A = this chain, B = another copy of it.
Amino acid sequence: MIVTIVYIQIKEPYIPDFIDATLFNHRHSVEEYGNLRFDFLQDADDPTKFVLYEAYESPRAAADHKLTAHYKTWCKLVDPWMAVPRKGVKYEVVAPLSPDKW
């Protein structure tokens, strides 16, 4: 299992557009083979900041996400709305290790 946490900051006028585009990406990403979670979060203290919490069964499944049409469409749409470049940090899972907990 592998988790990528993606940190995103959006220029304020584009927040509603970003949310719509990312809900589209979320809906399709959770249907990918090997996806375990794709949580979409907004910072409680700064509404311009967002997090994607992307859990996949394997590094291969995580890499395959970037080949999907919905990911490519999302990048093309949202990248111009970002206040700073988005940043992904990769994590190994310590717990829970049981696949049925994901």
| Secondary structure call for the A interface | strand
- A14 beta carbon closer than 8 Å to chain B: no
A8: min CB distance to chain B, Å: 12
- A30 beta carbon closer than 8 Å to chain B: yes
Interface residues of A in 28-53 (CB under 8 A from B): 30, 39-45, 50-51, 53
A61: min CB distance to chain B, Å: 15
Chain A interfacial residues counted at CB < 8 A:
26
4 A-B pairs with the lowest CB-CB distances in the bound complex, closest first: A41-B91, A44-B90, A40-B95, A40-B94
- Extra inter-chain contacts (8) besides given A19-B94, A26-B96, A41-B93, CB under 8 Å: A3-B53, A23-B95, A30-B96, A39-B93, A40-B93, A40-B94, A41-B92, A42-B92
